[in-house]
Amino acid sequence: MSAVTESSVVEAVTKELFIGGKWTPSTSGATFPVHDPATGAVLCEVADASADDGMAALDAAASAQADWAAHPPRERGEILRRAYDALLTRQEELALLMTLEMGKPLAESRGEVAYAAEFFRWFAEEAVRIDGGYAVAPNGTGRFLVTKQPVGPSLLITPWNFPMAMGTRKIGPAVAAGCTMVVKPAEQTPLSMLALAQVLAEAGLPDGVLNVVTTTDPGGVMEPLIRDGRARKLSFTGSTAVGRVLLRQCADKVLRTSMELGGNAPFLVFDDADLDAAVDGAMQAKMRNIGEACTAANRFYVQRGVADEFARRLTERMSALPIGRGTEEGVVVGPLIDSDAVAKVGELVEDAARRGAQVLTGGATLDGPGNFYQPTVLTNVPSGARMSAEEIFGPVAPISVFDTEDEALAAANDTEYGLVGYVYTNDVKRALRVSERLETGMVGLNQGIVSNPAAPFGGVKQSGLGREGGTVGIDEFLETKYIAVSL
């Protein structure tokens, strides 16, 4: 294999639309630039799809649907399994590509490629486990046959923060279930998805099953597809604000939806916690992906007996983190995605400080090019601070102190979001009590990372609808059909 260099991994990606198994420029010929967030440099240009291109992608998905639904499940699974192998074989080049367009350190990009691949392995196994049922009707004379069928052509929209894994978490179950799809990756990180399309095509995915449109006009391209009537499903990962818009559009066609939206994760540390483990978990829950994760700990609530020591240790760890371009050896904190993200993080820190919070470390941008913000720890963050209600999406850890379990739970649940919560305690009764009372779809109990392809990922309240991964992940792409049988 030739050496993996920055230019070689960018050159290796076909920067066109992938429609009906063919690479094609946009009908207008338009392109848009992809930037390196660490330097601001333009990496390359990719095709900028128009509404007509989007419709061509849906045409291709709709035409391929019947054949794909009839494709043997074992073969659908084997395509995913081959793609899993290919992703791991190409892990190094795909990781570098991801770091270049998204900014996260190379070690984290390698981790994401492996995590993304695991969804393909998991759903390769699930493809052959789609079950049904046969039962005697209560009156004893009839019989019930229950079978599951693919939902049909699906629209998949993904964010920039996990540019490959958020794609495979949807593409994996869609392929396994027998659905065709139109995928629209985020404008800031289209390259990882285009590379993924190449991998799937090489793994034998038939033409038209996967179609990828990159665009600077997400609403203009996707809304007509939602309103067209042939798509039967929208699976979206992104902000709650955009999710609400898409839900309204889907309502008009009664489209099935999966919504993986924003989070505002509380991280609770009780006096009886293992403080070493709590600080390790806090670093993972806060700093994975430079804090740009829906699962990122957004609010730390620490019981009074350990609050000062927790803040001291977290500050020590955060202030020692090496910052820089994600391609550099040893860097742990890369750039944020763009200058708007840096500005928003800065505003949230200033707002908290104005309301009385103390900045223990960080609290500023870095001089020079790139979208860097220092790892930051704040204490005495009052409940009215904007960062208590809004996703920070950056390397900022706000700490507040509590006295009682009820007080901690009330603060933790005082949010419109409900994706994940983290609990650190060595009291098993408290652990289960608090986990049950947290209004979230997931809980990290004495651990700072919950994501796992074999587990059901998703939120309650305004963090979303539906679950991805686990044994339920494939159900999002299946309809249950009941056949009433007369004997």
Q: Which of 77, 167, 238, 421 binds ligand NAP (CB under 6 A)?
A: 238
Nearest CA among 128, 200, 142 for reference residue 168: 200
434 contacts 282 by C-beta, under 8 angstroms: no
- 294 given a catalytic annotation: yes
Maximum alpha-carbon separation in the chain: 78
Parallel, antiparallel or unpaired: strands 265-269 and 233-237:
unpaired
Q: Does 294 bind ligand NAP (CB under 6 A)?
A: yes
Beta carbons within 8 Å of 108's beta carbon, 6+ residues apart: 288, 289, 326
Q: Does 212 bind ligand NAP (CB under 6 A)?
A: no
Q: Does 465 bind ligand NAP (CB under 6 A)?
A: no
Q: Which of residues 299-328 bind ligand NAP (CB under 6 A)?
A: none
Q: Does 418 bind ligand NAP (CB under 6 A)?
A: no
Question: Which C-beta is closer to ligand NAP: that of 362 or that of 459?
Answer: 459
Question: Which C-beta is closer to ligand NAP: that of 68 or that of 160?
Answer: 160
Structure tokens at 6: 């920055």
Q: Does 267 bind ligand NAP (CB under 6 A)?
A: no
Question: Which C-beta is closer to ligand NAP: that of 349 or that of 465?
Answer: 465
Q: Which stretch binds ligand NAP (CB under 6 A): 13-21, 185-193, 274-282, 362-370?
A: 185-193
Q: Which stretch binds ligand NAP (CB under 6 A): 26-34, 130-138, 214-222, 382-390?
A: 214-222
List the beta strands (DSSP E) in 287-395.
297-303, 358-361, 376-379
Q: How far is the CB of 17 from ligand NAP (least distance, A)?
A: 14
Q: Does 159 bind ligand NAP (CB under 6 A)?
A: yes
Report the C-alpha gap between 394 and 37 in whole angstroms: 14
Question: Which C-beta is closer to ligand NAP: that of 50 or that of 237?
Answer: 237
Q: How far is the CB of 247 from ligand NAP (least distance, A)?
A: 11
Parallel, antiparallel or unpaired: strands 133-136 and 142-150:
antiparallel
The partner residues of 108 in beta bridges, in order of sequence, read none
Q: Which of 111, 219, 224, 456 binds ligand NAP (CB under 6 A)?
A: 219
Report the C-alpha gap between 68 and 31 in whole angstroms: 31
Beta carbons within 8 Å of 79's beta carbon, 6+ residues apart: 175, 200, 203, 204, 205
Q: Which stretch binds ligand NAP (CB under 6 A): 60-68, 82-90, 131-139, 158-166?
A: 158-166
Q: Does 262 bind ligand NAP (CB under 6 A)?
A: yes
Burial call 158-181: b when 16+ CB within 10 Å, e when fewer: bbbbbbbbbbbbbbbbbbbbbbbb
Q: Which of 161, 235, 258, 379 binds ligand NAP (CB under 6 A)?
A: 161
Question: Which C-beta is closer to ligand NAP: that of 261 or that of 385?
Answer: 261
Size of the site for ligand NAP (CB under 6 A): 29
Q: How far is the CB of 149 from ligand NAP (least distance, A)?
A: 26
Structure tokens at 55: 């419709």
Q: Which residue has the tokens 């597809």?
A: 225
Structure tokens at 110: 């390698």
CA torsion angle for 440, 446, 450, 454 (degrees, to 10)?
A: -110
Report the C-alpha gap between 169 and 256 in whole angstroms: 17
| Catalytic pick among 101, 179, 294, 476 | 294
**Mask of contacts with ligand NAP, 44-63, x by CB under 6 A?**
--------------------
Q: How far is CA 77 from the centre of its chain?
A: 23
Q: Which stretch binds ligand NAP (CB under 6 A): 37-45, 203-211, 255-263, 404-412?
A: 255-263
Q: How far is the CB of 337 from ligand NAP (least distance, A)?
A: 8
Sign, Cα dihedral of 349, 352, 354, 356 = negative
Q: Which stretch binds ligand NAP (CB under 6 A): 58-66, 92-100, 159-167, 276-284?
A: 159-167
Nearest CA among 106, 473, 89 for reference residue 290: 106
Q: How far is CA 382 from the centre of its chain?
A: 29
Report the C-alpha gap between 127 and 177 in whole angstroms: 6
Q: Does 242 bind ligand NAP (CB under 6 A)?
A: yes
Q: Does 464 bind ligand NAP (CB under 6 A)?
A: yes
77 contacts 205 by C-beta, under 8 angstroms: no
Beta carbons within 8 Å of 72's beta carbon, 6+ residues apart: none
Q: Does 392 bind ligand NAP (CB under 6 A)?
A: no
Q: Does 263 bind ligand NAP (CB under 6 A)?
A: yes
Q: Does 173 bind ligand NAP (CB under 6 A)?
A: no
- 202 given a catalytic annotation: no
Q: Which of 64, 290, 419, 465 binds ligand NAP (CB under 6 A)?
A: 419
Q: How far is the CB of 222 from ligand NAP (least distance, A)?
A: 4
Q: Which SS3 state, helix, strand or coil, does residue 57 take?
A: helix
| Catalytic pick among 93, 118, 260, 391 | 260
Active site residues: 260, 294
**Which chain residues interact with ligand NAP by CB under 6 A?**
157-162, 166, 184, 186-188, 218-219, 222, 237-239, 242, 245-246, 260-263, 294, 391, 419, 459, 464
